[in-house]
Structure 1
């Protein structure tokens, strides 16, 4: 008998409203319901202006809902201190962005080592080996010493994936991860991201405007009018 997947994140009736300069309220999200378990791959698709970035910021604990409840591993995020929130964000969440956000003066290996500088104990002292193994896992064992400007777009995104996963996060948030790549390279990167996340047991949440990118997910939603609407399950 296999163990039930662990619930990591739960959003119940979550909304986000901001006050505009003219004192009008702007509702960006309203009534968002979502449960994320370990090993999930969730694709969220939506047009520009539908609140994708706002939702990503809440899932990444960069922002908090103005109404509704959000729980992280059973803990109400409203009750978390700033220090506890920062710890979860740094240790439990990995981010993959469209523009890679690699440090140009550092090699691929040094970019992946960077998150491990905040680790402790064996993880800190073994940071070089851990980073090298993660780069090997994404197919860049021969590119450890290459700087971003000497890597292709697909290789740069692989470095970004290695960096996001090097501390074995429980949730990986991918924000338009293929937006700067051609179609073929983007498909390869999404397959890699899905495979590596699944192997590590992390939940992968991909937020995109591209239905083709979302299609690889095992659960898919459309963000529209401030709420999530389930889409037909991927085959």
Structure 2
């Protein structure tokens, strides 16, 4: 028996109208199934539509045509409030620039998503945040402000914040772009391990084929078209990044 995908994009397009009333087609007929526990990478150059696709995968925007299903339910059938609650509960975002709150400690940053939770998660928000920071190796940095943390530590806080509500889908947008190569590799290994332990699906959106190669399924987004690729083969043949 085939299991229903966690997230499905079926013939998804995204277009915008330009000031001269012409139409810019950003995404063109995207088809993608994301299973529970999947790890997918999507590579593409700047301007390829990665940010637009991220907003669709994260239940933020609606497609122009086509449809998006979460747990088999078309998103267009959900009210705005229901979609917002689903996104807050089931989707975790990790950004290149970390987006930590400057005036709050590492612990307070990780607790922030739980302020919108309910029941047990809300009342246990401090303990849950402490447990997640411990899992990413920052148990002794909980009281530190972001400006007192290294880049790698800030990214670990961002990972802990994204995972503290136990999301079923994790979206990592250029998660190592602001880090050196060694720290980036460590962060990606951590992210993959934590996602695997929690059973969450992980989608990494990146321009770096080395980061993309860490996933189990690889895609390229080029001029709005998403297609499967063999990143490991590309690396083995030393193709330049620009060819992605």
- 1:13 maps to what in 2? 11
1:56 alignment partner, one of 54, 58, 62: 54
- SS at the partner of 1:143? coil
CA contact (8 A) 1:220 1:230 kept: yes
Q: How does 1:56-135 map to 2 (within 5 A)?
A: 56-135=54-133
- SS at the partner of 2:26? strand
User: Are the structure 2 counterparts of residues 12 and 133 from structure 1 closer, same or farther at C-alpha, using a change threshold of 3 Å?
Assistant: same
TM-score, structure 1 normalization: 0.96
CA contact (8 A) 1:164 1:172 kept: yes
CA contact (8 A) 1:219 1:234 kept: no
User: Are the structure 2 counterparts of residues 74 and 6 from structure 1 closer, same or farther at C-alpha, using a change threshold of 3 Å?
Assistant: closer
User: C-alpha separation between the residues in 1 aligned to 2:73 and 2:225?
Assistant: 23
String of CA shifts for 1:99-145, please: whole Å, max 9, x gaps.
00000111100000001111111111111111000000000011110
- 1:184 maps to what in 2? 182
Unaligned runs of 5+ in 2: 234-244
Aligned pairs, how many? 233
| 1:26 Cα offset (Å) | 0.3
Alignment RMSD, CA only? 1.3
CA contact (8 A) 1:94 1:164 kept: yes
1:32 alignment partner, one of 30, 33, 44: 30
- SS at the partner of 1:229? strand
User: C-alpha separation between the residues in 2 aligned to 1:4 and 1:102?
Assistant: 40
CA contact (8 A) 1:218 1:234 kept: no
- 1:232 maps to what in 2? 230
CA contact (8 A) 1:42 1:220 kept: yes
TM-score, structure 2 normalization: 0.93
Unaligned runs of 5+ in 1: none
- 2:240 maps to what in 1? none
CA contact (8 A) 2:4 2:72 kept: no
- SS at the partner of 1:7? coil
